[in-house]
Amino acid sequence: MLNYLFHFLTGYVIIKIEGHGIENFLNACAKENIKIHGLKRHGREYATGEIYPSVYHRAKLYARDNKCKISVVHRGGMPFALRRMKKRKTLCIGFIVALFLLMWLCSRIWVIDILETDPERCGKIAMVLQENNIVTGMPRHSLKPFELQQEVLATHDEYSWFWVELKGTHVSVDVRYRTPPPEIVDEDKTCNLIASKSGLITHMIVRMGQPAVKEGSAVKEGQLLVSGVVPNSVVGALYVHSDADIIAKTTHTASLSENITIIRRIKTGNITKKYSMVLFGKNFNLFLKAPGYKHYNGIVHEKRLKLFGDYFMPVSLRTCEYSEIVPTPTVRDKTTVEESLKTRLREDLEISVGAKNILSFNFETQASPDGTVTVTMRAECLENIVNPVEITFSGKQTENPSTSEENEE
């Protein structure tokens, strides 16, 4: 392989040796260090071989001295190719321009893939990239993945992981979202505990603060449960950070509605394909008419032009596949619809409060003349209804736990 490359760069000449003194000529060339590669004898008439262009004239002199004749069969290699291309200036200029254009295209970023299925989240990530000047067509050397990751994580709290990978002219972006921590009042700050929901208190443990209610009390949403102002005989009152677990029996009510008649989109089997070309981000349709279907589903397949590996070019071919459909009304069984709604309501409640905290639930079903089925669920659950609220300076002046207790009684 290396010998072939060397011969191509230096050039080579394939000669034909004729005469009765072929052996004497070959001996003379070997004595004068004139190398003949790939020597082949074709009977007694002639032989062929490959020599360097720089020794051709010397070999011709030795052939004359040994009563032989040599002629050129083929000239090959880069020097002869360049000599032939001197007469084709337009071709040379086009080749050089194409080479520089290819180098420029390979030095840019043409494809940015965001590994996110949610369209809304995908749009937000695209805006984040634009804020940091990450766009198609930018130079590859301008993208610093590690610096971009640090910048995005420092300015956007919703991301716990932001990864950018550059391969060729292709960039892939993958993110992980941070789970927001619950809002907790600083333990150094004084606070009251109020009811987040209405319910009947079944169990309570007060670790810090002045209780304002008792077990078995019915409370309303926003009512004071534990006061952060504790009476003291020496200083009058102490301001503390209230801490307690107060479990109450709460009532949840939710409804869902659905029509027993739905429209199913049934495919007829008729398919039409339309093509378009995307060049530097702009779409050019290669068709004049839209599909002649009244109702259809569309699927877009895009095939990007790739040189090799991950070096994509800013050219792609889109195939839009349209399938004809016929909207067909379908009447479902009423019992099936009811069970489906009940299951959805129960699953939503389990996600909200936890399956083990549900004491009981019952369903009511109503059907309207237009075929709409409404299922209402009423459930009793056990929940911790504590909601800490910081006491402001004005609240410290007006708060009086004894008054709250008297009003509750």
189 touches 239 (CB < 8 A):
no
- Close Cβ partners of 89 (under 8 Å, ≥ 6 residues apart): none
**What gap in Å lies between CA 200 and CA 155, rounded to an integer?**
44
Q: Is the dihedral of CA 298, 299, 302, 303 positive or negative?
A: negative
Instruction: Output the CA angle 302-305-306, nearest 5 degrees.
Output: 125
How is domain 2-82 classified at the CATH fold level? Alpha-Beta Plaits (3.30.70)
Confidence of residue 397 (pLDDT cuts 50, 70, 90): very low
- What pLDDT digit, counting tens, does each position of 95-147 carry? 889 999 999 999 999 989 999 888 899 999 999 999 999 998 899 999 999 99
Helix (H, G, I), strand (E, B) or coil at 396: helix
pLDDT confidence of residue 45: 80
**pLDDT tens per residue across span 182-199:** 666 566 788 899 999 999
3 state DSSP class of 223: coil
Q: What is the mean pLDDT of the chain?
A: 86
The confidence score (pLDDT) of residue 398 equals: 42
Half-sphere exposure of 147 (CA within 13 A, CB side): 7
Q: Please report where in the chains the tokens 């009086």 appear, as a residue.
A: 400
Residues near 91 by Cβ (< 8 Å), separated by ≥ 6? 85
Q: Helix axis angle, 2-10 relative to 78-85, nearest 10°?
A: 40
Using CB atoms within 10 Å of the CB of residue 269, give its burial: 0 to 12 exposed, 13 to 18 middle, 19+ buried. exposed
Q: Which of 308, 318, 280, 317 is nearest to 106 (CA)?
A: 308
The CA distance from 305 to 308, in Å, is 9
Contact 376, 254 (CB under 8 A): yes
Split at pLDDT 50, 70, 90, the class of 406 is very low
What per-residue confidence (pLDDT) applies to 394? Answer: 58
Q: What are phi and psi of 301, to 5 degrees?
A: -115, 130
- Residue 116 falls in which region: left (phi positive, over 0), alpha (psi -120 to 50) or beta: beta
Any idea which of 163-172, 179-188, 260-269, 305-314 has the lowest mean pLDDT?
Answer: 179-188
Q: Could you tell me which residues come within 8 angstroms of residue 124 by beta carbon, excluding any fewer than 6 positions away?
A: none
Radius of gyration for the alpha carbons in the chain, expressed in angstroms and rounded = 43
Looking at residue 204, what is its pLDDT? 92
Domain ranges (residues) in the chain? 2-82, 111-177, 191-249+391-408, 261-331
Q: Is the pLDDT score of 402 beyond 50?
A: no
* Residues 244 and 204: beta-carbon distance below 8 Å: yes
The pLDDT, as a whole number, for residue 77 is 80
Backbone region of residue 197 per phi and psi (left: phi > 0; alpha: psi in -120 to 50; beta: other values): beta
User: pLDDT digits over 331-387, tens only?
Assistant: 999 999 999 999 999 999 999 888 899 999 899 999 888 889 999 999 999 999 999
Residue located via tokens 């709460």: 250
Close Cβ partners of 67 (under 8 Å, ≥ 6 residues apart): 19, 20, 21
Tell me the pLDDT tens digit for each residue of 216-248: 999 999 999 999 888 888 777 888 888 899 999
Q: b/e map of 129-166 (b: 16 or more CB within 10 Å)?
A: beeeebeeeeeeeebeeeebeeebeeeeeebeebebee
Kindly compute the dihedral angle of the four CA atoms of residues 208, 211, 213, 214, in this order, to the nearest 10 degrees. Answer: 80
> Rounded distance, CA 190 to CA 228, Å?
6
DSSP string, 361-390: EEEEEEE-TTSEEEEEEEEEEEEE-EEEEE
The pTM is what? Answer: 0.56
